Chains A and B, each alone.
Chain A
Amino acid sequence: EAGVAQSPRYKIIEKRQSVAFWCNPISGHATLYWYQQILGQGPKLLIQFQNNGVVDDSQLPKDRFSAERLKGVDSTLKIQPAKLEDSAVYLCASSIDRSTQYFGPGTRLTVL
């Protein structure tokens, strides 16, 4: 079974630039999550999709972050414009139920 795929693995941008991350969840997983993990902290949920609908985006900074899930499968997370404090690892995860989540390798973003 293929795992959760994410790209790119690393990204370095200047502040005020835009960036996009891509996630392909495990086939058949209806729920998809995007997390932000700042160094030394645990993953923080940004947005949760159930199929292609948003079920929780309460912690997503909507003035600069946006996300979509195409046809209930792949998802993209965009930051526009980026700030220094957005430097973090962005993790995508998918799940069938509450028994577990499967995480991708993450995208490490550095904003200079």
Chain B
Amino acid sequence: DQQVKQNSPSLSVQEGRISILNCDYTNSMFDYFLWYKKYPAEGPTFLISISSIKDKNEDGRFTVFLNKSAKHLSLHIVPSQPGDSAVYFCAASGKGDTGNQFYFGTGTSLTVIP
């Protein structure tokens, strides 16, 4: 049962334009959401996060938007740069009976074309 879904396996964007990566979740108990970036042969690295008490969080070129009623979040990268080309994973966290748990989507491969 995939609780976090990224329905677009890949995305191509021109350099300088906006990249929008989408993520949907099903579990209403999730209250913390994270985006990770992964280069080949490396582990995922944390990019940006958002708590469910907010609907927007911004860090430089990266902004995450959360729509709780739609159980949807998105990552905006503006402007996109070739170095942003990587696989982006959305993750959700909830306070379960067994403590902090993280659930990951299947990833979106972003290619920024120079």
Contact = CB atoms under 8 A, between A and B. Distances in A.
Nearest to B34: A100
The prevalent SS among residues of B at the interface is: strand
Contacts of B36: 103
Interface residues of B, number: 27
B102 A106 contact: no
Contacts, number: 62
A42 B98 CA distance: 21
Contacts of B46: 100-102
B43 A106 contact: yes
A102 B36 CA distance: 10
Among B43, B89, B106, max chain A CB count under 10 A is at B43
Contact of A43 (B42, B49, B101, B104): B104
A55 B97 CA distance: 9
Interface in B69-102: 89, 93, 95-96, 98-102
B53 interface: no
Interface stretch (A13-21, A72-80, A90-98): A90-98
A34 interface: no
B43 A105 contact: yes
Given A4-B43, A43-B44, A43-B104, A100 B49 contact: yes
A103 B100 contact: no
A107 to B, nearest CB: 10
Contact of A44 (B6, B32, B34, B104): B104
12 contacts: A42-B104, A42-B106, A43-B44, A45-B103, A56-B101, A98-B95, A99-B32, A100-B34, A100-B49, A102-B46, A103-B36, A105-B42
